[in-house]
Structure 1
Amino acid sequence: MLRSLRLKDVEERAARVLPAGERLVAGQQVRRGKRVPKPRRGRRPRVLRGLRMPGDRWEGAKAWFWFFLAVMDLPGALFDALFDWGRKKGKPLKGGWNSLAGQFAAALHPLSKTTGVVRVVVLTDRQLRVVYVQQGRRSGELGRAESGWAVDVRQVAWLRNRDDVSNKNYELGFADGSWARVHFPQVNMDFLDGLPAPRLRHDAPVPP
C-alpha cells in the first residue's frame, strides 16, 4: 500500500515534467471518487514502465495475493453493490468514457506492473493535467514523474463538493456537460482556489 506523503514533495516532482513555458499553480493528490467504475484495461494508461525501487517486487507479489482473495469474495461484493442504497446520491460519472470527464476518470486508473504510482492532478496557467509520480511500494520513497492526460483549463466548468456522498469527494464538471467524481486525500485549498471555475455546494444543481 502506498504511504502517506507531503503534497509539496509531489508537487515539486510533478512540476519537473511540465512543458516548457507552462507555470505550475497548484497540485492535488487525487484518487477515483466513491463508486466511480473502473474502465476496461485498454483505456487505462500504462505508466512508469520498467521503473522499480527496492522492495517493489515483493510488495507486488503481496498485491497479487490480496487481489486473489478479493476475487474469491466477488459474490459478496456484488451482493453489497446491489443493495447499496447510497447510489441514490447521484451518478459518479456522466458522459461516457469518450467525454472529457470519462477521459479524466480513466487517467486516474494507471497501470504499472513494477512500481507504485501516486496520481496528481496539476493545475497550471494553461492546463489541467494528470501527472504520475513513482512511489516505492515498500519504502514510500518518491522517484520519477511522468505527465499524462491534459485538457485546456478553460474546459473546466465547475467543482462541486460531495461530502454528502463521502468525505473529501468532489465532482469536477467539464464544458461538454460531463462530470466525474474524485477523492482528494489531502485537500489543497490553493488548488481549489486556483481553479477558474465556480465551486458549488453538494445541494446545488448541476449547471446546464
Structure 2
Amino acid sequence: MSVKQGLMALLAQEPMYGARLRAEFEARTGGTWPLNVGQVYTTLSRLERDGLVVASGGDDEGRIEYSLTDSGRAETSRWWLTPVTRESSPRDELVIKLALAVTLPGVDVAAVVQAQRTATLKHLRDLTRLKARADEPSDGRDLAWSLVLENHLFTAEAEARWLDHIESALSRHRGRMPLSSPPPSGDVPDVVESAAAGRERSR
C-alpha cells in the first residue's frame, strides 16, 4: 500500500497532525505496516510541495495540522477507484534465493526448500491460531484487522503450495541439465519459470 495514498485517505476525513496520522494508519491496518514519524513527515512535506496538502498553524503543543487541498481530494477520489496493478512485482527475497540456488554450484536446493517450508508452515499455524482466537468483527477497525490477517493466511498458504510445486519441478528437472549450470543466453531455468508460474496460479 502506498503510504502517500494512505495518509491522504485519512486526511480526506479530517485534518490531522503527523503523530495522529501515524497512529490512525497503524490502527486501521492492524499494525501490520508500522510507520515511523520521520517517514510520515517526509511524506507530508512532499505532498505539501506537490500542492496536495496544506499545513495550518500549530496548536498549543506546537503540532502542525495538515489538510487536503482540492487537488488532494481529487487525487484521493481517483485512487479509490483505480485498480492496483501487478505489472511491476516487488522484489521477493525468497524467489531471488531459489532462483539463485538452482543455478549456483554447491547449493542443496532441496534443503533450502525444506527449511523454508518448515518456517512457512509454522507461520501458517501461528496465523491460523490467531485467526481462531479473533473475535467476530464488531466495527470497521475489527473488520480491517480481520481482512489483513486473512490476507497473510492466504499468502502463507500460497507460499506453501508454491514450495510443493518447486519440489515437483526439481524432480522433473533432475537428469536434464545440472542444476548448477547457468541458464543459456540469460534465459530463466525452466525449473524456476515453472515454479514461478505455479506461484502465480496459486494467488
More strand by share: 1
> Which has the larger Rg?
2
TM-score by shorter chain over 0.5:
no
Interval containing the TM-score (normalised by the shorter chain): under 0.3
Under a length normalisation based on structure 1, what TM-score does the superposition of the two structures give? 0.23
TM-score of the pair, normalised by structure 2: 0.23
Higher relative contact order (CA 8 A, sep 6+): 1
Higher helix share: 2
